[in-house]
């Protein structure tokens, strides 16, 4: 006698796991990037905001190391210091970066328009709200009460240095949310992020993924700068960002968190039809 056991989850969704900067707070994702520019400037090596955005989504120590390995940055480093960047150099920049990030993270971290309404809608639907971030725990200890005062208090927050296994693009922070939130199946979870590495995190965890093209790192403009663009300029920048997130494997790409409820409804319908991430 044989038995057939199906592992397919048919819904409904149980949880949404959000990134922070560029996803729920900090339209344009300036807190992690501008502070990195300032930290590099402190040691006399200019980097551009565009360069600082390339490794976005990584844990900050990894972000600094990867930034230093970009060809143009590595060449300027070699020219200035006479040797490639070392792990000791990464540690030195990280030590400069951390107090600046803790001091300034709240300055940039107002909720993105529509974020609080969307999260309220998801909670009304019975969804749990998780989160994970490239920020280390020290930064999150500063940001969490600021965000709570503004109206955002997720049920779970995993910081980039909380886990021995590591951070993005590995699945571990997303899966830690699943454990802490008590979600029964990873297919009952949606990961929402504005970076390719954050989308990879969700995919590696076996989750549905939603990329945010306009509000985050890929467009990289403040809300005021975005609204000042012509419709044609907005369309061009949106398309470039959406293409990058789609190429990273995002199941859906939308402008911002404000557009998420319709996607949640569609994923629930797909699960009910037996589809999986």
The catalytic site residues sit at 19, 60
The Cα 158–Cα 165 span in angstroms is: 13
Across 109-145, b (16+ Cβ under 10 Å) vs e yields bebbebbeebbeebeeeebbbbbbbbbbeebbebbbe
Closest by Cα among 255, 256, 251, 250 to 266: 251
The Cα 150–Cα 201 span in angstroms is: 27
Identify the bridge partners of residue 210 per DSSP, sorted by sequence position.
Answer: 192, 252
DSSP structure string for 193-232: ESSHHHHHHHHHTT-EEEEESSSSTTT---HHHHHHS-HH
The Cα 19–Cα 68 span in angstroms is: 24
């Amino acid at each position: 006698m044989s038995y057939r056991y199906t592992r397919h989850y048919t819904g409904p969704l149980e949880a949404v796991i959000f990134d922070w900067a560029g996803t729920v707070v900090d339209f344009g994702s300036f807190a992690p990037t501008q502070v990195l520019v300032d930290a590099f400037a402190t040691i006399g090596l200019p980097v551009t905001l565009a360069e600082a955005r390339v490794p976005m989504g990584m844990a900050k120590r990894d972000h600094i190391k990867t930034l230093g390995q970009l060809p143009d940055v590595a060449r300027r480093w070699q020219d200035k210091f006479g040797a490639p960047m070392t792990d000791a150099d990464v540690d030195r920049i990280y030590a400069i970066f951390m107090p600046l990030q803790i001091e300034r993270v709240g300055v940039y971290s107002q909720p993105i328009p529509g974020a609080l309404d969307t999260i309220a809608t998801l909670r009304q639907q019975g969804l749990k709200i998780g989160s994970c971030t490239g920020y280390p725990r020290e930064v999150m200890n500063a940001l969490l009460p600021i965000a709570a005062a503004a109206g955002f208090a997720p049920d779970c927050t995993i910081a980039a240095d909380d886990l021995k296994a590591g951070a993005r693009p590995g699945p571990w922070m997303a899966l830690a949310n699943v454990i802490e939130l008590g979600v029964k199946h990873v297919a009952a979870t949606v990961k929402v992020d504005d970076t390719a590495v954050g989308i990879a995190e969700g995919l590696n965890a076996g989750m549905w993924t939603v990329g945010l093209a306009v509000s985050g790192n890929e467009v990289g403009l403040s809300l005021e700068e975005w609204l000042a663009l012509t419709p044609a300029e907005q369309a061009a920048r949106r398309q470039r960002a959406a293409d990058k997130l789609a190429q990273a494997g995002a199941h859906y790409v939308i402008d911002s968190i404000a557009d998420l409820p319709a996607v949640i409804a569609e994923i629930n319908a797909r699960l009910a039809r037996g589809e999986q991430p």
